Amino acid sequence: MTENNERQQEQKRVDFVIEQIDDQINEAKAAVETAHNETRAVEKNYSANASVNLYEIDDAMDTNVQIQQQRQLVARTVENETILKRQLTTLQELQGSPYFGRIDIKDDGDFETESLYIGVASLMDNDQTDFLIYDWRAPISGIYYNGSLGKVEYPTPNGPQKTELTKKRQFTINDGKITNMFDTNDTVGDEMLQAALGSQNDQLMQNIVATIQKEQNDIIRDTTSDLLLVHGAAGSGKTSAILQRIAYLLYHSRASLNADQIVLFSPNRLFSHYISEVLPSLGERNMRQVTFAEFLTRRFEGLTVETLFEQYEAQHGTPSAVQKYLESPQVMQQVEAYTAQLTAENIEFIEIQFEGQPFFHESHIRQTFATNPENMSIADKILATKNALIKELKLRIKEAATATWIQDELEQLPTDQLHDLYGDRQSDDFDSEDEQLEYLGKRWATNRLRVVYDAIYNNHFIDSYSQYREFLDQLNVAGIDFSQAISDYDHAIEFHQMPFEHCAPALYLRDLITGSGQNRQLEYVFIDEMQDYSVAALIYLKHIFPKAKFTVLGDSEQALYSDIEEPEVLLSRLSQSLNAKRTNLISLNRSYRSTTEITNFAKSMLPDGEKIIPFSRHGELPKAIETRDEVAFNQQLSQEVSRLAGKYDTIAILTRTMDQANQAYRQLRHLQGTKLLTANDRVLPTGILVMPIYLAKGLEFDAVIAYDASKNNYPNAHTAGILYTISSRAMHELTLISLGSLSPIVANHRSLISEQ
Ligand SMILES: Nc1ncnc2c1ncn2[C@@H]1O[C@H](COP(=O)(O)OP(=O)(O)OP(=O)(O)O)[C@@H](O)[C@H]1O
């Protein structure tokens, strides 16, 4: 068949599939409408019942049962409607571009070749007999991404199945028309990638299903590792691959895994927004997302937790020996040893108060703790202490039920509150008035003393911050003097602040003592930008998610907060500390984001850069502008920004610090569409964006200006990671402007830049 004929044949098939999709969309719309009407009717009925006057005691019981039933019915109809809507959305996704790939396979002994088409979701024909499209995550679809023509294998429930791959074809289909189509022997070809990567930056990350590369596919389809480490150059598709991986895992464990059991630690809030559409575009719900700062703030309720960004801004020069120690696995081992030897005498117990008066004295709590058998673990002893205190509390509630203060308060209660106090019982259920008063007194005393219960439950009888201070005090590490760090810590705690460097060991200590803080429901933890986490922090995360499989990804060379590290060094540190049984390490060295010229320049700044392979997409050489004084600097900056703004949608001016971002913004704000972004921003706009580099982690822009790439600002190799991260955010153009002479990190590679 000639190429033209083949294309016509394929277009005919696309037309046929789209007709089927159109039919199914019409059916789905009707089904959604019916479901919607049903939900509305059920909801209406429910709200009519729920508004029945519950103070009419006799009616209340019946009404409650009815309401329960109605509520379940509402939940079912809503769920039904949601499922139908999701099906409709999937069909609509498929409508313009039903698939992107085709594989032809021939099983042993078969004479006929079977053609399978691959898209973002599966689709059956109207008769529900044949698959018109296979989901990209189906086991058989793995061949599309992995296999070269010839004998291949794919997993089935009955073990690996052998087959022969005789054709692999790629399509670009827009609005139902095939705009590009070609056969390829190997993995997904570069031509498609060129088209995908050459376009202008979108505000939101796109899914990459049509062009997943082989090594990315290995990341996506790994279901066996407890710890999957993905190390990859800037722009090598780490984030893209793990988002596809989440979609893959959700598809393969539909029955046992839902999006709430997956959490992604993301580097900043802008990033969370940037990636928010990838999973929905694949028909999946988003996983939970949290930044490490948000996570810590929740754990240290009531304290203001210093963030990594604040620590970076405040820190001048290299981190202190104390900081390095507090980030190391050794500190976590010391925490374990310290908590294991704690006894009744050296735990920092504090009294539990009720309305400003001691309710449980500290000495009483200490004695209660001391009655536990010695060989019990500290966490078990604390648990036993809590149980004993709760038992006592119950006795005291019983006593309080008939006490004057409770009975006096009862008398003062407004009718509706008194009514609520009856709970399931009614006023004529009691044999005597005394019985009734005691019942109500007990319920009221329980209410009133709930604060005591909460204090026990939440371990508020231990001052974990003082305990941590005691821990610091007893540390004895050769060559490290902790005295200044301890007085800084005291000062911070006095002002209800928690310095960043203490977060992981302090939380670990608290959790080991109280035996709390762990989450056993979470199945998968993803940590992006792993190089920004101390090993101590990763050990803590591993501790609190004991059942979860970890996917940890990053780039040791995008080092903002520490020196650049050889990937091998970072990885061996991590896998040892995270103590995983089945570890898999995948390295991605091909960089897709930037033009060849930008990648070649960026990698020249790295000690280990030669491993990085630029994707072959060409553009201009990065441009360097050296200026003599501030006036010239600001003038050049404005000119360059205006030039780039005429060409691209999004230009980022990336600075080393927030102060510099403020300076740059003052110079540029007269230009229309200029925005200054801070750590509180959650949405990434288009236009001229000014921000410090740590807020641009994980993001990409059409053009980037590295603000003041001078010798002064980036004096030596310690700062190379920052300039590398800045440069690697650029997709199409990169400009470096310096006040005074260029940084030696750049100046040593003049052949890779054009100078002005
Ligand atoms: N297989 C692919 N097909 C199409 N585009 C891809 C592919 N892999 C990566 N990309 C694109 O390359 C760019 C960089 O990808 P991504 O942000 O996932 O890289 P990263 O390794 O997480 O980068 P960084 O560490 O620099 O933040 C994105 O625009 C992404 O869409």
User: Is any ligand 1 atom within 6 A of the Cβ of residue 196?
Assistant: yes
Q: What is the pLDDT of residue 564?
A: 61
Contacts of 315 (CB under 8 A, 6+ apart): none
Same domain, residue pair 134 and 5: no
Q: What is the pLDDT of residue 560?
A: 67
User: Is any ligand 1 atom within 6 A of the Cβ of residue 197?
Assistant: yes
DSSP 119-133: ESS-EE-TTSSSEEE
Nearest CA to ligand 1 atom 15: 237
- The CA–CA distances, whole Å, from 726 to 174, 652, 695 equal 34, 10, 11
Answer yes or no: is 328 within a domain: no
User: At 526, which helix (H) or strand (E)?
Assistant: strand 524-527
Answer yes or no: is 225 within a domain: yes
CA of 197 to the centre of ligand 1 (A): 9
Answer yes or no: is 332 within a domain: no
Same domain, residue pair 601 and 741: yes
Same domain, residue pair 536 and 670: no
Same domain, residue pair 22 and 58: yes
Q: What are 112's two structure tokens?
A: 């006929």
**Among 205, 212, 209, 208, CA closest to 275:** 205
Same domain, residue pair 574 and 711: no
Residues 545 and 531: their CA atoms lie apart, in Å, by: 20
In degrees rounded to 5, what are phi and psi of residue 104? -110, 125
Domain end (from 96, 111, 143) = 96
* Residue among 201, 592, 595, 728 whose CB has most ligand 1 atoms within 8 A, to mutate: 592
Same domain, residue pair 539 and 674: no
User: Is any ligand 1 atom within 6 A of the Cβ of residue 554?
Assistant: no
Half-sphere exposure for 241 (CA within 13 Å, toward CB): 31
Residues 514 and 511: their CA atoms lie apart, in Å, by: 5
- The CA–CA distances, whole Å, from 556 to 307, 329, 692, 716 equal 20, 18, 19, 18
Residues in the chain: 756
Q: What is the pLDDT of residue 5?
A: 86
pLDDT along the chain (756 residues), means of 10: 82 95 92 84 68 44 62 76 85 91 88 92 89 93 86 86 91 91 73 70 80 90 90 92 94 87 92 90 88 93 89 77 93 96 94 93 95 93 94 91 87 86 82 87 91 93 96 94 95 95 96 93 93 90 93 82 66 74 88 95 89 91 95 96 94 96 96 92 92 93 96 90 94 96 85 79
Quote the pTM value.
Answer: 0.87
Same domain, residue pair 603 and 726: yes
Q: What is the pLDDT of residue 23?
A: 94
Domain total in the chain:
5
3-state secondary structure 398-431: HHHHCCHHHHHHHHHCCHHHHHHHCCCCCHHHCC
Answer yes or no: is 86 within a domain: yes
Q: CB of 754 within 8 A of CB of 624?
A: yes
Same domain, residue pair 746 and 603: yes
Domain end (from 54, 74, 96) = 96
CATH of the domain at 677: 3.40.50.300
Q: CB of 548 within 8 A of CB of 525?
A: yes
ipTM reported for the complex, 2 dp: 0.99
Nearest CA to ligand 1 atom 27: 698
Same domain, residue pair 41 and 162: no
Domain end (from 458, 486, 502) = 458
Q: What is the pLDDT of residue 55?
A: 41
User: Is any ligand 1 atom within 6 A of the Cβ of residue 239?
Assistant: yes
Neighbours of 246 (CB within 10 A): 24
Same domain, residue pair 664 and 610: yes
**CA 592 to ligand 1: nearest atom:** 12
CA of 169 to the centre of ligand 1 (A): 23
> Which range of residues forms the domain containing residue 212?
204-311+521-584
- The CA–CA distances, whole Å, from 756 to 595, 636, 667, 705 equal 20, 10, 21, 14
User: Is any ligand 1 atom within 6 A of the Cβ of residue 232?
Assistant: yes
In degrees rounded to 5, what are phi and psi of residue 193? -65, -45
Answer yes or no: is 157 within a domain: yes
User: Is any ligand 1 atom within 6 A of the Cβ of residue 201?
Assistant: no
Show the beta-strand stretches assigned E in 148-287: 150-154, 161-174, 177-183, 227-232, 262-266
Answer yes or no: is 193 within a domain: no
Same domain, residue pair 145 and 182: yes
Answer yes or no: is 536 within a domain: yes
- The CA–CA distances, whole Å, from 10 to 120, 186, 193 equal 18, 21, 21
DSSP 34: H
Same domain, residue pair 234 and 184: no
Answer yes or no: is 318 within a domain: no
